């Protein structure tokens, strides 16, 4: 039996990096479903340089022209004062913050050999701290409301790697670790935290794919997953992947392992590697303590070595 249509009526959503691409698509979807939306965008280039408010204002106009409610904010998500202003502006306008879609990001791709540390740090700063700072600023508000939905944005590079993107991969993977711990802390206050892993045609990908493929990968094809992950009935701690109308879920898995005993050497590990890395009975854990439980269970096994 179909559920009631997802609605964000009376909900307030902050969407970072919403001046174009995925963020704009998400903003339009949330507004269409009744949310009051804050369009945050620095208006910079793909590498994070420059900035103006034109992109954010244009999306606000789109939403208002369609009968929705929206305001623009041009703060950098890495700037403490800017983030504080973003939260204040939202609370002054609407008195609550229900949803954070942390979408802002930059690219500075280079092979690791040629990567300058400033480019590594810049990408880490925008993706990781540009998610952490807004989340931290609104966390007390969500706790007081006993309601919150946070969606962080990871990527296939963060989950699986990609040549020339060590900085981007490290940043995107770190957000999965952030999400997994934050979901536990939000549980008692009905704050749900999830990750979206999108593939879409945006300024970041337009030079990487042919036009026919880009047409299949419109950003708005990802937004339904984001809306679901931010809805009342959302799960928590999920990595949802989305592209071209196809939706899937990803998770970390761990093998059962082998008890080699306290006398095990590196050679014993090498001799037993095939069994150690046997994923046929691998499990997914929802918190670190469950993995510890696995180790204590394996300790009860008779050691293979000595």
Q: Confirm if 30 and 99 have CB atoms less than 8 A apart.
A: yes
Per-residue pLDDT of the chain (306 residues; tens, 9 = 90+): 677 899 999 999 999 999 999 999 999 999 999 999 999 998 766 666 666 688 999 999 999 999 999 999 999 999 999 999 999 999 999 999 999 999 999 999 999 999 999 999 999 999 999 999 999 999 999 999 999 999 999 999 999 999 999 999 999 999 999 999 999 999 999 999 999 999 887 666 666 677 877 788 899 999 999 999 999 999 999 999 999 999 999 999 999 999 999 999 999 999 999 999 999 999 999 999 999 999 888 889 999 986
CB atoms within 10 A of CB 262: 8
Task: Give bridge partners of residue 77 from the DSSP assignment.
Answer: none
Topology of the domain covering 12-250: Rossmann fold (3.40.50)
Catalytic amino acids? 168
Q: Tell me the whole-structure pTM to 2 decimals.
A: 0.94
Length of the chain: 306
Q: Is the dihedral of CA 294, 300, 301, 304 positive or negative?
A: positive
Minimal CA–CA distance to 84: which of 19, 136, 33?
Answer: 136
Q: In the 8-state DSSP scheme, what is residue 254?
A: B
Give me the residue spans of the domains in the chain: 12-250, 253-306
The class that CATH gives domain 253-306 is mainly alpha
């Amino acid at each position: 039996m179909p559920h009631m249509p997802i609605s964000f009526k009376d909900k307030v959503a902050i969407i970072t990096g919403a001046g174009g691409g995925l963020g704009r698509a998400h903003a339009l979807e949330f507004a269409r479903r009744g949310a009051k939306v804050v369009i945050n965008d620095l208006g910079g280039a793909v590498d994070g340089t420059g900035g103006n408010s034109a992109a954010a204002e244009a999306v606000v106009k789109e939403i208002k022209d369609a009968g929705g409610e929206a305001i623009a904010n041009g703060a950098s998500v890495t700037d403490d004062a800017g983030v504080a202003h973003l939260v204040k502006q939202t609370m002054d306008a609407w008195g609550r913050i229900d949803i954070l879609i942390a979408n802002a990001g930059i690219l500075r791709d280079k092979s690791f050999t040629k990567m300058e540390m400033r480019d590594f740090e810049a990408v880490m700063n925008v993706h990781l701290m540009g998610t952490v700072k807004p989340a931290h600023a609104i966390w007390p508000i969500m706790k007081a409301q006993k309601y919150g939905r946070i969606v962080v944005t990871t990527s296939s590079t963060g989950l699986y790697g990609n040549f020339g993107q060590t900085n981007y991969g490290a940043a995107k993977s770190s957000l999965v670790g952030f999400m997994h711990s934050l979901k536990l802390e939000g549980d008692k206050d009905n704050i749900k935290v999830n990750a979206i892993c999108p593939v879409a045609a945006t300024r970041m990908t337009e030079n990487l794919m042919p036009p026919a493929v880009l047409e299949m990968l419109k950003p708005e094809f990802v937004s339904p997953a984001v809306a679901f992950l931010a809805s009342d009935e959302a799960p928590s701690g999920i990595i949802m992947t989305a592209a071209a109308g196809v939706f899937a879920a990803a998770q970390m898995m761990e093998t059962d392992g082998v008890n080699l005993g306290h006398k095990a050497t590196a050679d014993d590990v090498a001799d037993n590697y095939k069994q150690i890395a046997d994923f046929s009975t691998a499990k997914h854990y929802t918190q670190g303590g469950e993995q510890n439980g696995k180790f204590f269970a394996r300790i009860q096994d008779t050691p293979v070595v000595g």
